[in-house]
């Protein structure tokens, strides 16, 4: 069988995500008949039906669902290869480090200075601050070379080394019944709503809701307000609209007159990692990973605040 054409894969992904040929054609900037012919040729090449079509309805077949998942991976890898190759050919190439906002700039600066001091002949490192869930995406897309993030995340196409593992705590409003009550168990907070993160996979959602592992089936939590960043999460907790479960370093850092951290004895821990693309052979990435691991061995409490 001939190799699949990337252009046809892009066309298919557009149709599969929109489930509408007209909208997909508009997004791609091509005529709808051209798009329909491209999908038909793709189906003919594969010998399977990818889409069930009627005049009013478009749906993915089982084969189409499989191809959608695989096509996204292929297109992301192709774009990443292009970006990394172009950057490698530039004389001013830098090591791009993806992080999410942590509020602890001093430790991040210490890490960057340690890398530059130990490896002056390697490319300089530049930090890219991005939103919730984005560091791993930037790695896969070739927009970053290395990232600091916490488990769990989508590990496909990535490798990582563990830097720090720490316990998690609940944060509750200052007037909450469990505030300043000492260690509790997850069951003590079973009826409390928890914040929801948009577009979160089930594993990650269960983790941040504190019901991963043994707790998921025992007491699924009521859904609380939807949040998209730490500021929103802290606000809904302070207002008493939800409780949240954060790494101990983050929970204690954000405690104030309105929010109280509460130890929870049976939560799974939180792990900070340094991640990079699978099969990466960059000396600069290897050097940065070594520097991060060395700093974590010497200052684990500080490194815990990086992600």
Residue 292 contacts residue 110 (beta carbons within 8 Å) = no
CATH code that applies to domain 6-86 = 1.10.10.10
Peptide bond into 152 cis (omega under 30): yes
pLDDT of residue 262: 95
- pLDDT at residue 217 in the model: 63
> Does this chain's domain 95-157+272-306 share its CATH topology with 168-263?
yes
**pLDDT tens track for 59-113:** 999 999 999 988 888 877 777 777 677 666 665 578 999 998 876 789 999 999 9
Pairwise CA distance, residues 98 & 82, whole Å: 19
For the beta carbon of residue 41, count every other beta carbon within 10 angstroms: 13
pLDDT at residue 212, rounded to an integer: 85
Please list the ranges in the chain whose pLDDT falls under 70.
Answer: 1-2, 83, 86-92, 103, 213-219
- Which class is domain 168-263? alpha beta
Tally of CA atoms within 13 A in the half-sphere of 22 that contains its CB: 3
pLDDT attached to residue 181:
80
- Helix 32-46 vs helix 6-18: crossing angle, to nearest 10: 110
CATH number for region 95-157+272-306: 3.40.190.10
Distance of CA 266 to the CA centre of its chain: 25
CA distance linking residue 246 with residue 60, whole number of Å? 38
Annotated domain spans of the chain: 6-86, 95-157+272-306, 168-263
């Amino acid at each position: 069988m001939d190799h699949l054409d990337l252009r046809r894969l892009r066309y298919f992904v557009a149709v599969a995500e929109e489930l509408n040929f007209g909208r997909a054609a508009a997004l791609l900037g091509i005529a709808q008949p051209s798009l329909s012919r491209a999908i038909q040729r793709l189906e003919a090449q594969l010998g399977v039906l990818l889409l069930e079509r009627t005049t009013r309805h478009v749906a993915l077949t089982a084969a189409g669902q499989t191809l959608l998942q695989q096509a996204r991976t292929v297109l992301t890898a192709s774009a990443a290869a292009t970006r990394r190759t172009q950057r490698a050919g530039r004389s001013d190439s830098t090591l791009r480090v993806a992080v999410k906002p942590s509020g602890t700039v001093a430790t991040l600066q210490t890490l960057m200075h340690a890398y530059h001091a130990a490896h002056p002949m390697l490319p300089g490192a530049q930090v890219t601050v991005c939103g919730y869930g984005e560091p791993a995406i930037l790695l896969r897309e070739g927009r970053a070379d290395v990232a600091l993030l916490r488990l769990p995340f989508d590990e496909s196409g990535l490798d990582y080394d563990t830097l720090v593992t720490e316990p998690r705590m609940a944060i509750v409003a200052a007037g909450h019944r469990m505030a300043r009550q000492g260690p509790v168990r997850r069951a003590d907070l079973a009826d409390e709503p928890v914040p929801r993160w948009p577009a979160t996979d089930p594993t990650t959602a269960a983790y941040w809701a504190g019901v991963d592992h043994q707790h998921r089936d025992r007491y699924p939590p009521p859904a609380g307000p939807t949040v998209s960043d730490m500021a929103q999460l802290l606000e809904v907790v302070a207002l008493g609209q939800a409780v949240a479960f954060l790494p101990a370093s983050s929970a204690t850092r954000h405690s104030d007159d309105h929010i109280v951290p509460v130890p929870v004895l049976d939560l799974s821990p939180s792990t900070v990692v340094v991640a990079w693309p699978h099969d990466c052979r960059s000396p600069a990435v290897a050097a940065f990973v070594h520097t991060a691991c060395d700093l974590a061995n010497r200052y684990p409490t500080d490194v815990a605040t990086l992600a």
